[in-house]
């Protein structure tokens, strides 16, 4: 796990009160936090401070459209702080790149700390680097990157996590439930979100000779493309 003294957060919110809450809780936990209020400055803040995690305040669907249109690097976990709790909104938020949520009405010192620690703990559970010879696939958990035959594939953080769950030396089937639990945690909203990510991932890895096989009612497995 990260040492507390090294924990760095970037928080984007136009809400001054929310910014003060995040700042106060981060100070209590001895975490470093940079507050960004102007959307135009979020990329610069990410590059300058290289945080361990990004918090993004999203008020509605228009904010999700804005987030999808940004060029913010996706190599760091993203937690959305949201007020809307409908299935449609949270499913769209996951599809837009959210890795976890802090609902506004659950924003408390205890939940804030637990949610961040849980996400970062999961991120650092795996060993830093490993190579799966069966797939000619190299996984770098520090950079959240993958290479196939020394060719790097550009993935979102969620796509990277799915590929990491499927990548193993033996031919192994991973159930939908395992992927949902390990990646989306408590946000098991619908199967559509996972289908969207799997579809996007398939397109990206096909060009490097990998495919994701579906076993109806069982799960998925990662294999080299059949000749």
Tens-digit pLDDT profile for residues 110-123: 999 999 988 877 66
pLDDT > 90 fraction of the chain, expressed in percent and rounded = 47
157-193 pLDDT, tens digit each: 889 989 988 988 778 888 888 787 767 664 454 567 8
Q: What is the DSSP string of 159-181?
A: HHHHHHHH--SS---B-HHHHII
User: In the structure encoding, which two tokens stand for residue 211, read together?
Assistant: 């495919």
Q: What is the pLDDT of residue 173?
A: 87
Structure-token match 């690097």, residue found? 73
- 6 versus 41: the higher-pLDDT residue is 41
| For residue 5, pLDDT beyond 90 | no
* Inter-CA distances, 179 with 80, 192, 201, 220, Å: 20, 13, 14, 9
């Amino acid at each position: 796990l990260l040492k507390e003294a090294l924990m760095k957060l970037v928080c984007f919110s136009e809400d001054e009160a929310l910014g003060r809450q995040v700042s106060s809780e981060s100070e209590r936990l001895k975490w470093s936090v940079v507050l960004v209020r102007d959307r135009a400055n979020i990329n610069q803040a990410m590059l300058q401070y290289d945080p361990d995690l990004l918090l993004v305040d999203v008020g509605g669907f228009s904010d999700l459209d804005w987030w999808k249109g940004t060029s913010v690097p996706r190599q760091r976990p993203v937690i959305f702080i949201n007020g809307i709790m409908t299935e449609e909104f949270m499913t769209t938020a996951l599809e837009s790149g959210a890795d976890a949520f802090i609902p506004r009405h659950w924003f408390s010192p205890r939940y804030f700390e637990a949610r961040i620690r849980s996400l970062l703990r999961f991120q650092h559970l795996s060993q830093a680097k490993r190579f799966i010879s069966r797939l000619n696939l190299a996984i770098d958990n520090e950079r959240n990157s993958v290479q196939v035959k020394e060719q790097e594939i550009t993935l979102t953080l969620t796509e990277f996590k799915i590929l990491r769950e499927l990548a193993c030396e033996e031919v192994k089937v991973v159930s939908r439930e395992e992927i949902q639990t390990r990646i989306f945690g408590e946000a098991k909203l619908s199967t559509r979100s996972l289908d969207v990510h799997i579809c996007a991932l398939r397109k990206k890895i096909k060009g490097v000779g990998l495919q994701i096989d579906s076993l109806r009612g069982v799960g998925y497995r990662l294999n080299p493309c059949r000749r």
